[in-house]
């Protein structure tokens, strides 16, 4: 009987370790819900066309979408605080993108929001 229990426990552990059963993070759920909104989806498409979202974690993607949606005012800071995302994450990624590419992205996004 104990061997059956250990056998079941080992099967459960093996099942949980497999990649297709990974735990979905809360930021992946938030990201999927954000993409329902048309503006977030358009911003997401622009960022992915520029190649900025490849290889990023869901938390960083959520932070970037919030930043580019509300870049004109400091409202994005309050939203980031609600999600427990630090401002430094945005600052770090803005430095990686560079000034010219940031202005190019902001111009593209502002054209969409002006429609």
- DSSP letters of 16-57? HHSGGGPPPPHHHHHHHHHTTSHHHHHHHHHHHHTT-STT--
97-109 pLDDT per residue, tens = 999 999 999 999 8
Q: How far apart are CA 86 and CA 63, in angstroms?
A: 9
35-91 pLDDT per residue, tens = 888 899 999 999 999 998 888 898 999 999 999 998 888 888 898 898 889 999 999
In order of 8, 11, 41, the CA distances from 30 in angstroms are 34, 32, 13
Q: How far apart are CA 74 and CA 87, in angstroms?
A: 11
Q: What residue numbers bound the domain in which 77 lies? A: 2-114
Total of domains in the chain: 1
Residue from 104, 115, 103 nearest 42 by CA? 115
């Amino acid at each position: 009987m104990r061997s059956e229990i250990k056998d079941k426990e080992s099967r459960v552990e093996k099942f949980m370790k497999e990649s297709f059963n990974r735990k979905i993070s809360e930021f992946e759920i938030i990201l999927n819900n954000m993409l329902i909104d048309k503006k977030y989806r358009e911003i997401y498409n622009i960022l992915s066309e520029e190649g900025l979202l490849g290889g990023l974690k869901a938390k960083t993607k959520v932070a970037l979408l919030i930043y580019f949606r509300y870049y004109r005012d400091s409202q994005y800071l309050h939203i980031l605080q609600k999600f427990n995302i630090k401002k430094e994450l945005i600052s770090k990624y803005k430095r990686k993108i560079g000034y010219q590419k940031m202005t190019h992205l902001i111009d593209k996004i502002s054209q969409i929001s002006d429609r």
